[in-house]
């Protein structure tokens, strides 16, 4: 019985940690002084219907200057994209990896903050309204 209570308390504590509101974003970075955006991010978001979700975003260098590869792990799905950084704006296209629950495609744009955070809108093709996402760098 004692083990069950401890496990229940641990589960409640962990679930409460996930409900914490995201930290405020930093100011937009000047277009001529953008921090390095390569890394891993914690993702807080809302889809076009207002449903909240979270996940992870991984950003790696692309094959050309100012090009980046993006990978989202969201609710058991994997999505991949390619983006171009111009000033403090990362414009990208994305698609679901085949074999995930739903095959979706879309586009979006993130703004980079002085703290290296990314925020902006992400569209699903065929849906008029965008979702909003904020990505917070994980400590290295």
Domains along the chain? 25-137 (2.40.128.120)
For residue 9, give every residue at least 6 positions away whose Cβ sits within 8 Å of its Cβ, in sequence order, or none: none
The one-character DSSP state at 102 is -
Which residue is listed with tokens 């760098």?
A: 137
Nearest in space to 21 (alpha carbons), one of 136, 138, 137, 140:
136
Q: What is the pLDDT of residue 21?
A: 58
Do 97 and 74 touch, CB atoms closer than 8 A? no
Number of continuous H segments (helices) and E segments (strands) in the chain = 1, 8
pTM of the predicted model over 0.85 = no
Q: What is the pLDDT of residue 1?
A: 38
Tell me the H-state helices in the chain.
Answer: 2-17
pLDDT in tens, the chain (140 residues): 333 333 333 333 333 344 455 668 899 999 999 999 999 999 999 999 999 999 999 999 999 999 999 999 998 789 999 999 999 999 999 999 977 777 899 999 999 999 999 999 999 999 999 999 999 999 86
Do 47 and 75 touch, CB atoms closer than 8 A? no
């Amino acid at each position: 019985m004692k083990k069950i209570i401890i496990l229940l308390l641990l589960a409640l504590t962990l679930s409460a940690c996930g409900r914490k509101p995201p930290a405020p974003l930093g100011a937009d970075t000047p277009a001529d002084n953008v921090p390095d955006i390569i890394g891993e991010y914690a993702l807080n978001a809302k889809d076009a219907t207002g449903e909240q979700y979270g996940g992870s975003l991984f950003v790696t260098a692309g094959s050309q200057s100012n090009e980046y590869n993006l990978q989202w792990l969201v609710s058991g799905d994997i999505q991949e994209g390619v983006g171009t950084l111009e000033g403090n704006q990362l414009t990208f296209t994305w698609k679901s990896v085949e074999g995930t629950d739903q095959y979706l495609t879309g586009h979006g744009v993130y703004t980079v903050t002085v703290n290296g955070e990314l925020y902006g809108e992400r569209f699903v093709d065929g849906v008029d309204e965008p979702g909003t996402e904020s990505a917070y760098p994980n400590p290295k």
